[in-house]
């Protein structure tokens, strides 16, 4: 599989050290070209669809990572936000409205729900934040599940068409992959800009030193609020991609398990890194869809992977891999005695 | 004689063609032309092996494997490659797994899925792909008002078993006022709708309808609302009938209870206790069907899994028989999907675990349905309880006794249709 | 009238079950400062182990209460192992601990499916409690009454344990202020293991006790965990009194919500949790352990 992990250079933590802007640009270009080439390199449509799923879940994980990784706020209710956008789109399409209206309304509803989540959850941090988001996520799930007259309950809502941007049909798997890829690249770009911006720096400051940030005159709550909104925007986008991808939405997509899987993507890949969530999304989607064809007990495996990563590689796969290569590199060049172990400064979720 | 020669000739050529086509397929994206009968027949199964619906899903797979073992993995003269996919019991998973079966494994036919919401999620897709699906999921409209030409249902629509049940309750049990309760999803609505329509047609009426959610740990809040009736009709599925009947008995209610195909499934007999005695049900399958195929099927299930089967396993076994018969009719040819589909529709069998069956022009089964009552009489295979057949309805169609046009003129059975009338 | 009476009694019964489930959850939460997301799994594992002991899969058939106690002890041992082998490694990292409990709950659910299959298993009511109490035309199953009694007995026993024993004093100290507890020489790590095992055992016991009412089936864990969360958040973490009152409240909301507001049943269930988290984060009885 053409994994984007092949170019860990885009990781901000590493790029500072490799230094060369040119090298990085080349690496990014190679990665993007590889992603564009995926549907042409892969023979079977099935794997193109898997690749689309990886990208759409990567957008979800990128959004969740803004909160988990950069703001240090762990949400277990993001599937609810994902679902709000998806349900609004499906509901409006089923009611006969057009795609443009449905998508805009889906984004708007996702953002309104996010604002509600943020207003309630940001009163707390740490475990309480987890619990509030979990409860809010369960409320949304409960509505999707039981508010039958609107949501259809377990029967879900079917969507029979995909939008045709600029007259291009997205019905074919490869076309849908291309569209998802564009959205994905925009999302990665947006997160990269966000993280590098002064606002992103301030957000990381609120994660590591909230009191000091407050003393320095930053409005910690507002910074967190806007980070939450940005996270919600990406999550809503992912929800809309999801509903167009499956052409169906039902309460299972909003369940606590779905939120937990999102968190698993972020944590396993590496919270607080740009590439981590993408790698994590790939890992989870592949285990769920591809590995499950060979191993019946894939749920067990997913849980075991999760536990193993938290216990043995708590920083996640991407920073973990970087650390391992770095230490190998360093032991090789130890004689020159240049650098100290820089990998120790790899960003970590709040602990 | 000539057919035999033909098939040998084809198969020899197929060995060569097979490799050539395989190489070509690797280079181009065009689907390989269907040539080779010697190529194994790819049988796909969409089932649920994890999560709350796993019980029925695991039985589905057991039914298929029991048939394949019995035929030594050969149907219609072709070796079978069996691919089983676990949807996890959710629609998105069903979609992905259907794609996996169609696009990666290139299956010739899909058996399953289990739940109506899974079938709805893949319905558009399998039509686009012209993939024959032998569904267990009972979503009425897919063989009624919005038929999918590539869907064949050898089991039953949701309402198909409940309609005779309604008739029986009104005419033979002479009950007048029914209280209906079932899960809050399409399978539940369509079952209760079918019961209500048939029950009212024969002079009964429905007092009230309650819809607990699919996941309800304790049914007492709902049972507490049952009153003022002379029969309770429940349409629960999976493990829910057990808990419902338990809560019902615990509340001390004594009204007789009737149910459809899932509420008294034979596979539940081992889990039921005294609370289930007297439960009357209507089902397209029952252990007591006296056909050779049913004896073979039960023996196989006991031997392979040490399990007394229920309808999930039985109906999947029947699905395999249907595929087998269609393949025999086409001489092992399944490449031309439209021809293969036509052969599937034309299947007419008598020796199946459920008795004789054929299909109507909308691809739904016309077959025998059994009214049973749970008691202790006749219990076999180490069970304490048994579904005793008390009446048999032959040639039951999805339209029951209504003319097709009249039936289809109504909206599909739903939460609000047929509406409650003064009772 | 019968309707209201039946629902009320059932609400209390359900509240009793929830208390058995959530008392341990609350103590673990209060002491270790983490929501143990495997708590639903322990409930389910206890129920499954109990059915095996009852059903003779282990070679012999036991009395219901003996089986329930053995199942509870087995789950307590599993809990202790989990605390020792996994959570201990992550001491001080609350987030990692929460995530590990989540991962283990995935694994436990799949292991149960592997071990006991997908078939729902119904648990027979113990024969001496199979009857009814008849009041005013309505019938109340004896077993459900017994569950209320069991919950009360356990509540009193836990209260005595916390109030009168040395272990209880240590737990209270740990919940109040873990640092201080360590300073005065309490071996907090050992205490964690004991409380985790105790909580797990209680959850396992609740699982098998609920068997005759709920039966045992895959997915039971996910049905129960959110309810336990609501109870503990409502009542206040680490508070025994809070879990007791919270359980009864949730029992009522759950039963009446399902019956009267079916479309909004989950909304009215989780809304109080959110409100409490936002308006009174310590819960109704937070800070008062007893």
- Pairwise CA distance, residues B291 & C27, whole Å: 60
- Pairwise CA distance, residues B378 & C268, whole Å: 48
Within-domain flag for C64: yes
Which of A255-264, B22-31, B184-193, B235-244 has the least mean pLDDT? B22-31
Q: Which domain holds residue B252?
A: 162-286+368-409
Query: Considering just the CA atoms, what is the radius of gyration of chain C in Å?
Result: 19
Which of A336-345, B292-301, C269-278 has the least mean pLDDT? A336-345
Q: What is chain C's pLDDT, residue by residue, as a tens digit (290 residues)?
A: 677 888 888 899 999 999 999 998 998 988 888 889 999 999 999 999 999 888 765 556 778 999 999 999 999 999 999 999 998 888 878 888 888 998 999 899 989 988 887 777 878 888 888 777 777 666 778 888 899 999 999 999 999 998 899 888 888 888 877 777 777 777 777 888 999 999 999 999 999 999 988 888 888 898 899 899 999 989 888 888 999 999 999 999 998 988 888 888 888 888 888 888 888 878 888 766 55
**In this predicted model, what pLDDT tens digit does every residue of A85-130 receive, in sequence order?**
999 999 999 999 999 999 999 999 999 999 999 999 998 888 888 8
> Tell me, what's the pLDDT at C136?
66
Residues of C in contact with B301 (CB under 8 A): none
* B11 and B103 in a common domain: yes
Within-domain flag for C266: no
Residues of C in contact with B182 (CB under 8 A): none
The verdict on C1 touching A (C-beta cutoff 8 Å) is no
Chain-centre distance for alpha carbon A136:
19
Last residue of a domain, one of B366, B394, B418: B366
Domains of chain A from N-terminus onward: 50-311 (1.10.3470.10)
Q: How far A183 CA lies from chain C's nearest CA (Å)?
A: 30
Task: Yes or no: say if B120 and B80 are a contact pair by the CB < 8 Å rule.
Answer: no
Mean pLDDT value of segment A32-50 = 84
> Tell me, what's the pLDDT at B18?
40
Within-domain flag for B271: yes
Q: How far C14 CA lies from chain B's nearest CA (Å)?
A: 9
> Tell me, what's the pLDDT at C59?
58
* B68 and B118 in a common domain: yes
Last residue of a domain, one of B331, B346, B366: B366
**In this predicted model, what pLDDT tens digit does every residue of B89-141 receive, in sequence order?**
878 788 888 988 998 899 999 998 998 888 988 998 899 899 999 999 988 99
* B274 and B251 in a common domain: yes
**Ramachandran assignment for B33, one of left (phi > 0), alpha (psi -120 to 50 degrees), beta (any other):** beta
pLDDT at B62 over 80: yes
Considering only residues B409 and B17, tell me which one the structure prediction assigns the higher pLDDT.
B409
User: What is the total count of domains within chain B?
Assistant: 2
> Tell me, what's the pLDDT at A183?
96
User: What is the total count of domains within chain C?
Assistant: 1
* B380 and B259 in a common domain: yes
The complex's ipTM works out to 0.85
CB contact under 8 A, B103 and A160: no
In the three-class reduction of DSSP (H, G, I as helix; E, B as strand; rest coil), residue B388 is classed as strand
Mean pLDDT value of segment A292-307 = 83
**In this predicted model, what pLDDT tens digit does every residue of B127-176 receive, in sequence order?**
989 999 999 998 899 999 999 999 999 999 999 999 999 999 999 999 99
- Pairwise CA distance, residues A247 & B95, whole Å: 9
pLDDT band at A336 (very low <50, low <70, confident <90, very high): low
Within-domain flag for C125: yes
pLDDT band at B52 (very low <50, low <70, confident <90, very high): low
Burial bucket for residue A193 (CB in 10 Å: 0-12, 13-18, 19+): exposed
Query: Considering just the CA atoms, what is the radius of gyration of chain B in Å?
Result: 22
Mean pLDDT value of segment B328-345 = 93
Residues of C in contact with A306 (CB under 8 A): 99-100, 102-103, 106
Q: Which domain holds residue C184?
A: 2-219
In the three-class reduction of DSSP (H, G, I as helix; E, B as strand; rest coil), residue B41 is classed as strand
- Pairwise CA distance, residues C220 & C222, whole Å: 6
> Tell me, what's the pLDDT at A346?
42
C-alpha dihedral, B385 to B387 to B389 to B392, nearest 10°: 180
Q: Which of B210, B213, B224 to mutate to test the interface with C (most CBs of C within 10 A)?
A: B224
**In this predicted model, what pLDDT tens digit does every residue of B190-206 receive, in sequence order?**
999 999 999 999 999 99
> Tell me, what's the pLDDT at A348?
45
- Pairwise CA distance, residues B209 & B97, whole Å: 35
Considering only residues A222 and A4, tell me which one the structure prediction assigns the higher pLDDT.
A222
Mean pLDDT value of segment A329-339 = 65
Within-domain flag for C247: no
> Tell me, what's the pLDDT at A6?
37
Within-domain flag for C94: yes
Nearest to B242 among C215, C255, C256 (CB): C215
Chains with ≥3 CB–CB distances under 8 Å to B: A, C
Task: Yes or no: say if B259 and B205 are a contact pair by the CB < 8 Å rule.
Answer: no
CATH of the domain at B21: 3.40.50.2300
The verdict on B24 touching A (C-beta cutoff 8 Å) is no
pLDDT band at A349 (very low <50, low <70, confident <90, very high): very low
* B131 and B88 in a common domain: yes
The verdict on A143 touching B (C-beta cutoff 8 Å) is no
Q: Which of A86, A138, A248, A261 to mutate to test the interface with B (most CBs of B within 10 A)?
A: A248
* B133 and B27 in a common domain: yes
- Pairwise CA distance, residues A5 & A168, whole Å: 30
> Tell me, what's the pLDDT at C60?
64
Within-domain flag for B149: yes
The verdict on A257 touching B (C-beta cutoff 8 Å) is no
CB contact under 8 A, B95 and A247: yes
Structure tokens at B158: 């949701």
The verdict on B185 touching A (C-beta cutoff 8 Å) is yes
Pairs from B414-421 (Cβ < 8 Å, separation ≥ 24): B414/B189, B414/B190, B414/B193, B415/A148, B415/B184, B415/B189, B415/B209, B415/B211, B417/B193, B418/B193, B418/B196, B418/B197, B418/B200, B420/B206, B420/B208, B420/B209, B421/B200, B421/B205, B421/B206
Mean pLDDT value of segment A32-58 = 88
Task: Yes or no: say if A59 and A66 are a contact pair by the CB < 8 Å rule.
Answer: no
CB contact under 8 A, B250 and C214: no
Element (H, E) at B214: none
Considering only residues C262 and B6, tell me which one the structure prediction assigns the higher pLDDT.
C262
Within-domain flag for B100: yes
Q: What is the DSSP letter of C56?
A: T
Q: What count of Cα atoms within 13 Å lies in the side-chain half-sphere of residue C92?
A: 1
Chains with ≥3 CB–CB distances under 8 Å to C: A, B
Average pLDDT, chain B: 88
> Tell me, what's the pLDDT at C137?
64
Nearest to C278 among A120, A142, A302 (CB): A120
* B379 and B361 in a common domain: no
**In this predicted model, what pLDDT tens digit does every residue of A122-176 receive, in sequence order?**
988 888 888 889 999 999 999 998 888 888 888 888 888 888 888 888 888 889 9
* B90 and B23 in a common domain: yes
Within-domain flag for B418: no
Q: How far A153 CA lies from chain B's nearest CA (Å)?
A: 7
Within-domain flag for B131: yes
pLDDT at B401 over 70: yes
Nearest CA in chain A to B51: A299
Considering only residues B216 and B302, tell me which one the structure prediction assigns the higher pLDDT.
B302
Q: How far C42 CA lies from chain B's nearest CA (Å)?
A: 16
Q: What is the pTM of this model?
A: 0.82
In the three-class reduction of DSSP (H, G, I as helix; E, B as strand; rest coil), residue C216 is classed as strand
Burial C193-203, CB ≥16 within 10 A → b, else e: bbbbbbbbbbb
The verdict on C28 touching A (C-beta cutoff 8 Å) is no
Structure tokens at C96: 């990692």
> Tell me, what's the pLDDT at A2?
38
Q: How far B90 CA lies from chain A's nearest CA (Å)?
A: 6
Q: Which of C5, C119, C257 to mutate to test the interface with B (most CBs of B within 10 A)?
A: C119
Within-domain flag for B419: no
* B270 and B404 in a common domain: yes
Within-domain flag for C134: yes
């Amino acid at each position: 599989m053409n994994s984007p992990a092949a170019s860990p250079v885009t990781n901000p933590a590493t790029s500072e050290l490799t230094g060369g802007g040119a090298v990085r640009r080349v690496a990014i270009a190679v990665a993007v070209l590889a992603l564009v080439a995926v549907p042409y390199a892969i023979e079977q449509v099935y794997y193109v669809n898997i690749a689309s799923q990886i990208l759409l879940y990567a957008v979800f994980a990128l959004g969740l990572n803004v909160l988990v990784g950069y703001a240090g706020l762990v949400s277990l209710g993001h599937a609810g936000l994902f679902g709000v956008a998806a349900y609004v789109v499906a509901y409006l399409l089923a009611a006969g409205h057009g795609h443009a209206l449905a998508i805009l309304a889906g984004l708007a509803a996702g953002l309104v729900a996010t604002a509600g989540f943020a207003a309630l959850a940001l009163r707390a941090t740490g475990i309480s934040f987890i619990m509030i988001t979990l409860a809010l996520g369960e409320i949304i799930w409960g509505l999707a599940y039981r508010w039958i007259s609107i949501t259809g309950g377990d029967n879900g809502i079917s969507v029979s068409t995909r939008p045709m941007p600029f007259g291009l049909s997205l019905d074919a798997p490869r076309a849908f992959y291309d569209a998802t890829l564009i959205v994905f690249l925009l999302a990665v770009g947006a997160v990269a800009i966000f993280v590098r911006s002064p606002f992103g720096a301030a957000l990381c400051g609120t994660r590591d030193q909230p009191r000091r940030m407050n003393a320095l005159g930053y409005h910690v709550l507002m910074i967190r609020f806007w980070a939450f909104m940005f996270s919600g925007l990406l999550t809503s986008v992912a929800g809309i991609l999801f509903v167009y991808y499956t052409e169906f939405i039902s309460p299972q997509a909003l369940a606590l398990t779905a939120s937990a899987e999102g968190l698993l993507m972020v944590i396993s890949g590496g919270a607080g890194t740009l590439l981590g969530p993408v790698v994590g999304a790939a890992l989870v989607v592949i285990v769920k869809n591809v590995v499950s064809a060979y191993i019946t007990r894939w749920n067990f495996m997913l849980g075991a992977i999760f536990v193993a990563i938290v216990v043995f590689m708590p920083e996640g796969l991407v920073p973990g891999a970087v650390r391992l290569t770095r230490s190998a590199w360093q032991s090789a060049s130890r004689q020159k005695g240049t650098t100290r172990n820089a990998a120790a400064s790899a960003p970590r979720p709040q602990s | 004689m000539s057919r035999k020669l033909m098939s040998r000739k084809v198969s020899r050529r197929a060995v060569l063609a097979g490799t050539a086509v395989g190489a070509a397929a690797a280079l181009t994206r065009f689907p390989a032309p269907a040539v080779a009968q010697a190529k194994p027949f790819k049988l796909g199964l969409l089932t649920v092996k994890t999560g709350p619906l796993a019980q029925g899903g695991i039985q589905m797979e057991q039914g298929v494997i029991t048939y394949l073992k019995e035929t030594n993995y050969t149907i219609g003269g072709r070796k079978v490659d069996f691919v089983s996919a676990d949807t996890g019991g959710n629609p998105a998973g069903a979609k992905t797994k259907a794609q996996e079966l169609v696009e990666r494994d290139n299956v010739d036919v899909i058996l399953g899925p289990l739940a109506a919401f899974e079938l709805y999620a893949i319905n558009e897709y399998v039509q686009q792909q012209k993939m024959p699906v032998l569904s267990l999921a009972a979503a009425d409209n897919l063989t009624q008002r919005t038929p999918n030409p590539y869907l064949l249902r050898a089991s039953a629509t949701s309402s198909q078993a409940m309609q005779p049940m309604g008739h029986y309750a009104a005419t033979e049990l002479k009950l007048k006022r029914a209280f209906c309760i079932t899960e809050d999803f399409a399978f539940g609505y369509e079952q209760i709708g079918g019961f209500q329509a048939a029950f009212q047609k024969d002079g009964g009426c429905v007092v009230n309808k309650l819809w607990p959610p699919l996941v309800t740990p304790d049914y007492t809040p709902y049972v507490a609302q049952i009153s003022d009736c002379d029969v309770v009709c429940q349409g629960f599925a999976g493990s829910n009938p057990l808990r419902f009947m338990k809560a019902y008995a615990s509340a001390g209610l004594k009204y007789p209870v009737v149910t459809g195909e899932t509420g008294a499934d034979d596979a539940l007999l081992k889990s039921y206790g005294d609370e289930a005695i007297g439960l009357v049900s209507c089902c397209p399958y029952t252990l007591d069907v006296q056909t050779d195929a049913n004896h073979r099927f039960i023996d196989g299930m006991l031997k392979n899994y040490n399990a007394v089967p229920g309808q999930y396993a039985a109906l999947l076994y029947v699905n395999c028989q249907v595929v087998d018969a269609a393949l025999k009719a086409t001489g092992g040819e399944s490449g031309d999907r439209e021809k293969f589909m036509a052969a599937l529709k034309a299947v007419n069998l008598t020796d199946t675990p459920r008795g004789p069956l054929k299909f109507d022009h909308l691809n739904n089964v016309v077959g025998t349905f059994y009214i049973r009552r749970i008691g202790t009489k006749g219990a076999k295979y180490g069970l304490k309880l048994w579904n005793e057949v008390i009446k048999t309805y032959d040639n039951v169609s999805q339209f029951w006794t209504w003319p097709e046009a009249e039936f289809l003129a109504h909206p599909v059975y739903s939460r609000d249709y047929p509406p409650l009338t003064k009772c | 009238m019968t309707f209201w009476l039946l629902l009320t009694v059932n609400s209390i019964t359900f509240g009793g079950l929830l208390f058995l489930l959530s008392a341990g959850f609350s103590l673990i939460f209060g002491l270790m400062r983490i929501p143990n997301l495997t708590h639903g799994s322990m409930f389910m594992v206890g129920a499954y182990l109990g059915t095996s002991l009852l059903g003779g899969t282990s070679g012999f058939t036991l009395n219901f209460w003996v089986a329930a106690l053995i199942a509870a002890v087995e789950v307590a041992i599993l809990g202790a192992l989990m605390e020792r082998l996994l959570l201990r490694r992550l001491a001080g990292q609350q987030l990692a601990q929460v995530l590990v409990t989540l991962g283990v709950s995935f694994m436990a659910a799949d292991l149960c499916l592997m071990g006991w299959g997908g078939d729902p298993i119904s648990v027979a009511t113990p024969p001496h409690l199979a009857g009814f109490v008849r009041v005013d035309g309505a019938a109340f199953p004896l077993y459900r009454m017994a569950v209320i009694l069991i919950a009360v007995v356990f509540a009193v026993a836990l209260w005595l344990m916390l109030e009168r024993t040395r272990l209880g004093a240590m737990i209270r100290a740990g919940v109040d202020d873990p640092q201080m507890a360590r300073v005065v020489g309490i071996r907090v790590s050992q205490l964690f293991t004991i409380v985790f095992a105790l909580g797990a055992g209680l959850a396992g016991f609740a699982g098998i006790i609920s068997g005759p009412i709920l039966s045992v089936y895959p997915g039971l864990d996910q049905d129960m965990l959110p309810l336990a969360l609501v109870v503990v958040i409502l009542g206040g973490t680490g508070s025994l009194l809070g879990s007791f009152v919270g359980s009864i409240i949730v029992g009522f909301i759950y039963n009446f919500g399902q019956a009267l507001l079916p479309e909004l049943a989950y909304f009215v269930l989780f809304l109080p949790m959110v409100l409490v988290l936002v308006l009174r984060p310590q819960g109704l009885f937070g800070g008062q352990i007893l």
